[in-house]
Structure 1
Amino acid sequence: MNPPTAPWDDRGLLLGDGLFETLLWVDGQIRCLDAHLVRLAAGCRILGLPAPDLETAAQLCRAAPGEAGLESGRAAVRLTLTAGSGGRGLDRPAAPAIRLAARAAAAPPITAPADLILARTRRNEGSPAARLKTLSYLDNVLARGEALKAGADEAVMLNNRGELACAAAANLFWIADGALFTPALSCGVLNGVTRARVLAKAATLGVRTVVGVVRVEALERAEAAFLTNSLIGVRPVRRFEGATYAPHDLIARLAAEL
């Protein structure tokens, strides 16, 4: 079902012109498949690309674990959409012919809390790409590299205005004064599928949530913090720079609910 390789003139390869989704597969089932495909189609509209046939995309995702030799357990399914071939230069063809492929790899669960550092690499909140999973993910790669070099698990990224945005590969939450906080999408934040689920679940639990524009000092003063994405679910944070966080009942409850 999947083409083996993309040609050298593919715009995703040459220019990062495209999108991707990372989905969790567990024992034959893909979690939140519809939400991921809806986000992919919305991203295509923002970038001016033709949306894929969603049923074809779903079939590719479902087939990927078996093609990777996985029969059970836990896997990451990467669905990649490129703008197709476009020749030399920046201009797209008048009618782009998108390419779509899915691959899977084993993804054991992560159970340890995360240690975070503050990255020097910034999010460009003024770019539409900062709120999409585009194939141009180099800033995230650099931020994660900073974390690994420092012996940490993840990097907290600020935007160009110095506001909290996210982690290199996760959305960011923290707890203070009984409320749950997370940065607003306008700060250059991906509208994460798990982020949305956490906010919805917190509302059903009667937890006050604040989606806002804040500086890094808010995270430093927090009682607790955690990261979210489709593979890790809810991952507690143990340390951020000089701050240390204790386990928190709300984080445990959200993790169990999701």
Structure 2
Amino acid sequence: MQDLTLLLDDRGFAYGDGLFETVLVRDGRALLWEAHLARLAEGCARLGLPAPPRDRLDPLPAACAPGLQVLKLVVTRGSGGRGYRPPAEPTPRWGWSAAAFSPTPQRWFAGVEVRLCALRLGRQPRLAGLKHLARLENVLARQEWDDDIIAEGLMCDSEGYLVEATAMNLVWLHAGRLETPLLDQAGVAGTLLAALDAETPLQRVRVEPQRLQQAEAAWVCNSVQGVWPIRVLRDAEGAVLRRWDVASDDPLRGLAHPLLGYPVGPDA
């Protein structure tokens, strides 16, 4: 049997008491690096953890192998305390890993099918927006389907309002304006979403899934995969709720992909 003593002793492993970032790295250069570190610093402040020092973090992208890599950075409260009571002066642990990554261009240009999830996200403003380690809700939501045709599942909160996809943010075009769910009660404030908001204003709204069905176009996106236009929206039982045509000159992809070094069009 493998010795798990160190893992069991760590509060991140035992309670999800920590944070993580997944960063796209291209030939040693991290994309949206400042946004990732800003979210990590905010998360540490909200959880009451000392943030890892910048002089230790900044060299990490250059240590990744050439090509396209995903750098995963994990910070936990470390060990100590008793039960749920954390140590008064935590000694955080942090570490990183990198793995080669290949995106799926077909999803950029042909679009994807998504479905609504039955699982509802609990509301907790103290954690809303953070990329914390306690992601069991997302795991259970992703467990709802195993059909590879479905690329993502869309999740609502306990009150029935749209929040996000299981691993991506959600954006749609309604009445000529770009909208995205409010993330003040649940969900992850994505770094690509923030970058898009800096390029063109996104209206934060608290709406039910019916609003999405009324949209002229819709997308899921994150800082690793890029932008996937939604082609088909299904309910939790698989029935089609809405279909969209996917534009070859997709406006959201045109804004997002240059930030990630991904092509804007299929012939690029």
TM-score band, normalised by shorter chain: 0.7 to 0.9
| Correspondence for 2:205 among 201, 212, 234 | 212
Question: 1:62 and 1:170 mapped to 2: Cα distance?
Answer: 26
Deviation at 1:16, TM superposition (A): 0.7
Q: Is the 8 A contact 1:16 1:135 kept in 2?
A: yes
Paired amino acid for 1:43: G
Give the equivalent residue in structure 1 for 2:101. 107
Give the equivalent residue in structure 2 for 1:25. 25
The within-5 A match list for 1:121-132 is 121-132=119-130
Q: Is the 8 A contact 1:164 1:187 kept in 2?
A: no
Q: Is the 8 A contact 1:163 1:213 kept in 2?
A: yes
Paired amino acid for 1:23: V
Deviation at 1:191, TM superposition (A): 1.6
Identity of aligned residues (%): 39
The within-5 A match list for 1:201-240 is 201-203=199-201, 209-240=202-233
| Correspondence for 2:174 among 161, 176, 179 | 176
Give the equivalent residue in structure 2 for 1:206. none
Q: Are 1:144 and 2:142 matched, yes or no?
A: yes
Question: 2:215 and 2:124 mapped to 1: Cα distance?
Answer: 27
Question: 2:166 and 2:7 mapped to 1: Cα distance?
Answer: 29
Q: Is the 8 A contact 1:57 1:100 kept in 2?
A: no
Q: Aligned residues, how many?
A: 243
CA offsets 1:104-133 (integer angstroms, 9 cap, x no match): 111101221221111111122234234211
Structure 1's consecutive aligned runs of 4 or more residues displaced over 4 angstroms after TM superposition are none
Q: In structure 2, do the counterparts of structure 1 residues 163 and 60 end up closer, same or farther at CA, with 3 Å as the change threshold?
A: same
Q: Are 1:44 and 2:37 matched, yes or no?
A: no
Q: Is the 8 A contact 2:123 2:158 kept in 1?
A: yes
Q: Is the 8 A contact 2:125 2:185 kept in 1?
A: no
Q: In structure 2, do the counterparts of structure 1 residues 92 and 252 end up closer, same or farther at CA, with 3 Å as the change threshold?
A: closer
Question: 2:30 and 2:254 mapped to 1: Cα distance?
Answer: 23
Question: 1:156 and 1:28 mapped to 2: Cα distance?
Answer: 33
Deviation at 1:51, TM superposition (A): 1.7
Paired amino acid for 1:48: G
Q: Is the 8 A contact 1:114 1:237 kept in 2?
A: yes
Question: 2:252 aligns to what SS in structure 1?
Answer: helix
Q: Are 1:96 and 2:90 matched, yes or no?
A: yes
Q: Is the 8 A contact 1:9 1:87 kept in 2?
A: no
Q: Are 1:83 and 2:85 matched, yes or no?
A: no
Question: 1:129 aligns to what SS in structure 2?
Answer: coil
Give the equivalent residue in structure 1 for 2:246. 247
TM-score (norm 2): 0.84
The structure where helix makes up a greater share of residues is 1
Question: 1:8 aligns to what SS in structure 2?
Answer: helix
Which runs of no fewer than 5 residues in structure 2 stay unpaired?
A: 235-239, 260-268
Deviation at 1:164, TM superposition (A): 0.5
Which runs of no fewer than 5 residues in structure 1 stay unpaired?
A: 204-208
Question: 1:246 and 1:227 mapped to 2: Cα distance?
Answer: 15
| CA RMSD after TM alignment | 1.9
Question: 2:20 and 2:200 mapped to 1: Cα distance?
Answer: 27
Mean alpha-carbon deviation: is it higher for 93-102 or for 47-56?
47-56
CA offsets 1:28-59 (integer angstroms, 9 cap, x no match): 21111121111101101111112221221223
